[in-house]
């Protein structure tokens, strides 16, 4: 008995050891839901102590989502003797859950459940992750098939799989695609080298990415963003290729539309700039055709105009482009068949004035017409119309269809070219008539000293030229006790017989406003008298004679005579243009000279009569007459020069300001375009091979960096021109006829600026060195315009002397002019102008300041320059002008003016 008990104890200890050392979770539970016994693995697995696990029903440790299935499994165990398998999640002490797989059976007599559990958390999480990956792959496959064109090819490129999206976009059925290679959808857009590079990349097992233009079965084109991934075998060699494409056709079309809008915007800006430039009609139109050929893919573009006298077509400009270059058409022989073609176009356009757009044109002998291998062109032509009159045609040949935006822009360009042509013709006609008027007036001044005839001619010519209702000359007289205004000459529109004459004295009560205006030398410009606030007396005078628009330009002679040219309109408002005002100012200058001449004639006659009775004064009178004549001639010369300088400065200033003002916008637009280009390079780093080749061909990096320098140099150039224009205006000094305090150095610098083209480089390598040794001078009270004339005469003579010495090769010394200024004896300023020329012989130096004396050849000098300079310095300023020189030792002019 003791032996049997001992064996039982040993067996019990053996089972207890097996129970405690098992790697599985072993447990015994009662039917009431509590654990009775647990092996130590439970504590190691879940973290709970045995007491904690046994203190609560085991169902409380089960995950809430698994409790229902666990209770059902427990019920099945208590009702069956077979083992039951199930899985659930158990709560750990740290709050996490672990998956357990159960094998359990019941001992019904004892109402106990014996169970073995195993931790399957790692396997369960792997299974969940695998299922998630499968679902994600299914979703990815669905997304690819829904939104991408997917194809699989073997290693030779034959298609073995094509999804529905590929078939739908390419318009081929799956049966038509399988077994074919991708040449079936080749559009021909890409080069052979493009696809060679593709195959070279993927055959190495590398991924290739790029944009491809394909051709669908129905002939339409579509763009795809393509990713080709090689599938490698165990040796690392590709055995098939997976191609995933995204349809980007709409994006490419949008990009092309954006590029076209940008290109057309640049074209419109360039054409506008070309039309705003100065030059002849042919030059301006040639610039337009050059610009059009640069921005549009053309074979040929030309512009014809109707010759205004014969009404025949005349080729004004044209450009002929081949695949390599574009060249200008200089005359009709460059395009012998253009007249036949143009006449056919005219036949249609003269009737309906309608544009021809994208008309297909077959040319039998294209090599004679356009020197091109193509014989079918798209032809477009646009009429140049001004005020419903056809004045010309612009025609274009292209190998491609023009888009609707291009057509609209070409219509706009044609309208602007027509307006520009009409403006140029009108300007040429106005200039021609203006020159004719000024020549006639100058001829009258020189052929007649009768002031009445000259004024009568002037008012008639002005009225006819400007097509106004009335033009008259009004003179101011202050000789009487009461100043008065008198209309001495008048021209009226012959087609308006109701216009009342205005000749005679102007009543004093109606002349106060005009008198003030004439005395202040201000001009009046009234476009519409109803919208102008005028003095009562002026308004009364205008109302009496029915004047609706008025222009008044004062005339003042050197002798002090005051008058005005008055232009009036009586049939509505009248806009007085700047060119008309400029013309009338030139006429007023001529009339001022005429008044001086007439008075000079009167004075000459009086002097001649006095000389007959007073023989002893004959020499003095003749000398004064000679001086007066020289002054008038020089005054006329300088007046014309001043007018020319002011006009040139004004005409240059406008386009230069336009260019200078637009350089900042050009720089801004360039920065924006460069930013756009960089964005493209950033987001599309692999460009089309054609774009890459062209960027390399034009050296894009060089253009980008050089354009900054180019814009900077253009800005420096325009700034230089503006400085020259300012110098011209300062030199002319129309507003400085009276004495005023000025800086002498500014006058010298402006004179040097005017003569810059001569002393810097006269064409024979003269390159004179100008050495300025300026002293510290105060402002000088003088006549600045006349003093500038002195500097001009002396510096011109110095340059002539150095140039003559250089031509005769009598010296190897570098030519130079020294200009030295200083204060002399406290009350005088001295300007010394010294050259290292050949000097002046004694017999010539003694006669330098005699009127009409000159050593220059006929036509090169008048002999008045130094004579007038002497009068300006000595008589006008009370100074000293002298010359010291020795032959072969250079010359020095001493100009001394009181401070």
Instruction: State residue 396's pLDDT score.
Output: 84
Confidence band, pLDDT 50/70/90 cuts, at residue 507 = confident
**Average pLDDT of the residues of the chain:** 78
More confident residue, 594 or 472: 472
What percent of the chain shows pLDDT beyond 70? 77
- Cβ 891 vs Cβ 805: under 8 Å: no
DSSP alpha helix (H) spans, 277-362:
281-295, 338-352
Query: Which residues, in sequence order, are bridge partners of residue 780?
Result: 742
User: pLDDT tens-digit profile of 84-116?
Assistant: 888 999 999 998 999 999 999 888 888 888 899
Q: Give the β-pairing of 769-773 and 816-824.
A: parallel
Q: Per-residue pLDDT for 734 more than 70?
A: no
The tokens for 843 are: 């017999």
Instruction: State residue 298's pLDDT score.
Output: 79
Task: Flag the least confident range among 11-25, 159-173, 197-211, 264-278.
Answer: 11-25
Residues 6 or more apart whose Cβ sits within 8 Å of residue 501 = 490, 492
The rounded distance, in Å, linking the Cα atoms of 368 and 381 is 21
Task: Flag the least confident range among 317-321, 408-412, 810-814.
Answer: 810-814
Residues 6 or more apart whose Cβ sits within 8 Å of residue 639 = 589, 592, 593
The rounded distance, in Å, linking the Cα atoms of 827 and 773 is 20
As a whole number, mean pLDDT of residues 174-190 equals 86
User: Which range in 89-93, 709-713, 841-845 is most confidently predicted, on average pLDDT?
Assistant: 89-93
- Cβ 785 vs Cβ 733: under 8 Å: yes
Task: Flag the least confident range among 374-388, 545-559, 725-739.
Answer: 725-739
DSSP summary character for residue 273: H
Instruction: State residue 548's pLDDT score.
Output: 80
The dihedrals phi and psi of 213, each to the nearest 5 degrees, come to: -100, 120
Confidence band, pLDDT 50/70/90 cuts, at residue 521 = confident
Instruction: State residue 140's pLDDT score.
Output: 61
More confident residue, 428 or 792: 792
> Which secondary structure element, helix H or strand E, spans residue 723, and what is its range?
helix 700-732
| Interior/surface letters 81-105, b for 16+ CB within 10 angstroms, e for the rest | eeebebbbbbbeeeeebbbbbbebe
Determine whether 147 is exposed, middle or buried from the number of CB atoms within 10 Å of its CB (0-12, 13-18, 19+): exposed
User: pLDDT tens-digit profile of 607-658?
Assistant: 677 766 665 565 665 556 565 555 555 555 555 555 555 556 656 766 777 6
DSSP alpha helix (H) spans, 300-401:
338-352, 366-369
As a whole number, mean pLDDT of residues 417-427 equals 83
DSSP alpha helix (H) spans, 227-248:
none
Degrees, nearest 5: CA angle 386-391-394 = 105
Instruction: State residue 299's pLDDT score.
Output: 78
User: pLDDT tens-digit profile of 4-51?
Assistant: 445 545 555 555 666 777 788 889 898 888 988 888 889 888 889 989
Task: Flag the least confident range among 232-236, 259-263, 472-476, 485-489.
Answer: 259-263
The rounded distance, in Å, linking the Cα atoms of 134 and 540 is 101
Q: Per-residue pLDDT for 373 more than 50?
A: no
Confidence band, pLDDT 50/70/90 cuts, at residue 183 = confident
Task: Flag the least confident range among 287-301, 547-561, 802-816, 847-861.
Answer: 847-861
- Cβ 200 vs Cβ 210: under 8 Å: no
Long-range contacts of 720-725 (CB under 8 A, 24+ apart): 721/652, 721/656, 722/653, 722/656, 722/657, 722/660, 723/753, 724/753, 724/756, 725/649, 725/652, 725/653, 725/656
- Cβ 440 vs Cβ 434: under 8 Å: no
Instruction: State residue 633's pLDDT score.
Output: 56
Closest CA to 524 of 646, 533, 441: 533
- Cβ 359 vs Cβ 380: under 8 Å: yes
- Cβ 355 vs Cβ 399: under 8 Å: no
Neighbours of 133 (CB within 10 A): 10
Neighbours of 870 (CB within 10 A): 20
Instruction: State residue 369's pLDDT score.
Output: 44
Q: Per-residue pLDDT for 891 more than 80?
A: yes
Confidence band, pLDDT 50/70/90 cuts, at residue 818 = very high
Degrees, nearest 5: CA angle 50-54-58 = 120
The rounded distance, in Å, linking the Cα atoms of 326 and 771 is 50
Residues 6 or more apart whose Cβ sits within 8 Å of residue 513 = 534, 535, 537, 538
**Using DSSP, how many helices (H) and how many strands (E) does the chain show?**
25, 29
Q: Per-residue pLDDT for 363 more than 60?
A: no
Give Rg (Cα) of the chain.
Answer: 51
Place of tokens 């002929």: 320
Neighbours of 839 (CB within 10 A): 18
Task: Give the 3-state DSSP-derived string for 738-754, with helices as H, strands as E and coil as C.
Answer: CCEEECHHHHHHHHHHH
DSSP 497-537: TTPPP--EEEPGGGTHHHHHHHHHT--EEES-GGGS---HH
Neighbours of 227 (CB within 10 A): 15
Cα separations in angstroms, 572 against 464, 467, 543, 576, 578: 18, 13, 13, 13, 19
Q: Is 362 left (phi over 0), alpha (psi -120 to 50) or beta?
A: beta
- Cβ 162 vs Cβ 174: under 8 Å: yes
How many residues are present in the chain? 899
As a whole number, mean pLDDT of residues 808-836 equals 86
User: pLDDT tens-digit profile of 753-802?
Assistant: 877 777 776 555 577 889 999 999 899 888 887 888 888 888 888 888 88
Q: Per-residue pLDDT for 736 more than 70?
A: no
DSSP 771-829: EEE------EEE-HHHHHHHHHHHHHHHHHHHHHHHHTT---SPPEEEEEEEEETTTEE
Closest CA to 718 of 665, 645, 662: 662
Confidence band, pLDDT 50/70/90 cuts, at residue 895 = very high
Instruction: State residue 2's pLDDT score.
Output: 44
Determine whether 444 is exposed, middle or buried from the number of CB atoms within 10 Å of its CB (0-12, 13-18, 19+): buried
């Amino acid at each position: 008995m003791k032996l049997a008990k001992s064996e039982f104890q040993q067996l019990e200890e053996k089972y207890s050891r097996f129970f405690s050392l098992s790697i599985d979770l072993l447990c015994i539970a009662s039917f009431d839901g509590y654990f009775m016994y647990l092996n130590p693995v439970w504590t190691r697995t879940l973290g709970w102590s045995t007491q904690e696990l046994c203190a609560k029903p085991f169902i409380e440790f089960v995950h809430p989502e698994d409790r229902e299935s666990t209770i059902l499994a427990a019920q099945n165990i208590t009702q069956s003797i077979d083992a039951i398998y199930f899985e659930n999640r158990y709560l750990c002490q740290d709050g996490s859950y672990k998956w357990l797989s159960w094998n359990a059976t019941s001992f019904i007599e004892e109402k106990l459940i014996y169970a073995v559990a195993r931790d399957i958390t790692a396997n369960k999480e792997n299974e969940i992750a695998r299922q998630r990956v499968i679902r994600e792959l299914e979703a990815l496959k669905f997304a690819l098939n829904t939104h991408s064109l997917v194809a699989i090819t073997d290693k030779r490129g034959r298609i073995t799989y094509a999804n529905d999206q590929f078939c739908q976009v390419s318009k081929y059925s799956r049966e038509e695609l399988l077994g074919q290679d991708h040449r079936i959808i080749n559009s021909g857009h890409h080069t052979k080298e493009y696809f060679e590079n593709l195959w070279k990349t993927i055959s190495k097992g590398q991924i290739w990415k790029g944009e491809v233009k394909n051709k669908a079965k129905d002939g339409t084109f579509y763009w795809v963003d393509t990713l080709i991934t090689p599938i490698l075998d165990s040796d690392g060699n590709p055995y098939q290729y997976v191609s995933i494409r995204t349809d980007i056709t709409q994006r490419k079309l949008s990009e092309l539309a954006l590029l076209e809008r940008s290109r057309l915007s640049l074209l419109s800006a360039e054409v506008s700039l070309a039309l705003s430039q100065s030059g002849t009609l042919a030059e301006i139109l040639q610039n337009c055709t050059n610009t059009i050929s640069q921005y549009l893919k053309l074979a040929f573009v030309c512009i014809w105009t109707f010759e205004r006298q014969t009404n025949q077509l005349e080729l004004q400009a044209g450009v002929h482009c081949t695949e390599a270059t574009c060249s200008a058409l200089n005359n009709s022989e460059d395009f012998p068949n253009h007249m036949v073609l143009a006449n056919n176009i005219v036949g249609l356009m003269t009737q309906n004035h309608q544009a021809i757009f994208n008309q297909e044109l077959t040319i039998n002998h294209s090599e004679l017409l356009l020197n091109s291998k193509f014989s079918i062109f798209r032809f477009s032509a646009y009429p140049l119309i001004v005020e419903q009159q056809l004045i010309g045609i612009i025609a274009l040949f292209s190998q491609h269809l023009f888009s609707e935006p291009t057509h609209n822009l070409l219509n706009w360009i044609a309208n602007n070219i027509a307006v520009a042509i009409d403006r140029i013709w009108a300007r040429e006609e106005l200039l021609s008539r203006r020159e004719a008027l000024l020549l006639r007036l100058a001829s009258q001044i020189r052929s007649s000293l009768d002031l009445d005839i000259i004024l009568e001619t002037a008012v008639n010519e002005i009225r006819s030229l400007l097509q106004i209702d009335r033009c008259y000359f009004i003179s101011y007289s202050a000789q009487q006790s009461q100043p008065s205004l008198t209309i001495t000459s008048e021209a009226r529109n012959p087609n308006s017989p109701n216009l009342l004459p205005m000749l005679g004295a102007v009543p004093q009560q109606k002349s106060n406003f005009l008198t003030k205006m004439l005395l202040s030398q201000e001009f009046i410009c009234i476009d519409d008298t109803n919208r102008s606030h005028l003095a009562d007396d002026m308004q009364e005078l205008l109302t009496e004679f029915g004047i609706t628009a008025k222009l008044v330009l004062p005339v003042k002679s050197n002798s002090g005579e005051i008058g005005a040219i008055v232009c009036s309109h009586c049939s509505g408002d009248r806009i007085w243009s700047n060119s008309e005002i400029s013309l009338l100012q030139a006429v007023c200058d001529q009339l001022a000279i005429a008044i001086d001449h007439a008075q000079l004639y009167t004075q000459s006659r009086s002097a001649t009569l006095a000389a007959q009775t007073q023989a002893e004064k004959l020499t003095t009178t003749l000398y004064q007459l000679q001086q007066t004549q020289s002054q008038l001639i020089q005054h006329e010369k300088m007046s014309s020069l001043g007018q020319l300088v002011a006009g040139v400065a004004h005409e240059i200033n406008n386009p230069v300001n336009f260019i200078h003002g637009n350089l900042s916008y050009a720089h801004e637009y360039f920065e924006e375009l460069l930013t756009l280009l960089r964005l493209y390079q950033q987001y599309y780093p692999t460009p089309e091979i054609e774009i890459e080749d062209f960027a390399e061909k034009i050296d894009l990096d060089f253009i980008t960096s050089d354009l900054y320098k180019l814009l900077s140099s253009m800005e420096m150039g325009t700034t230089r021109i503006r400085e020259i224009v300012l110098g011209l205006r300062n030199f002319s000094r129309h507003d400085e006829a009276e004495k005023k305090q000025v800086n002498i150095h500014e006058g010298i610098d402006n004179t040097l600026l005017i003569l810059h083209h001569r002393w810097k480089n006269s064409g024979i390598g003269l390159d004179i060195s100008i050495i300025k040794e300026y002293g510290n001078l105060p402002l000088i009270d003088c006549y600045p315009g006349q003093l500038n004339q002195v500097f001009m005469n002396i510096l011109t003579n110095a340059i002539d002397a150095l140039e003559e010495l250089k031509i005769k090769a009598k010296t190897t010394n570098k030519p130079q002019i020294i200009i030295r200024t200083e204060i002399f004896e406290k009350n005088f300023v001295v300007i010394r102008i010294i050259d290292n020329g050949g000097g002046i012989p004694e017999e010539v130096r003694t006669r330098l300041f005699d009127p009409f004396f000159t050593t220059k050849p006929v036509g090169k000098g008048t002999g008045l320059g130094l004579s007038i300079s002497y009068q300006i310095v000595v008589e006008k300023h009370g100074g000293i002008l002298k010359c010291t020189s020795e032959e072969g030792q250079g010359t020095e002019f001493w100009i001394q003016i009181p401070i």
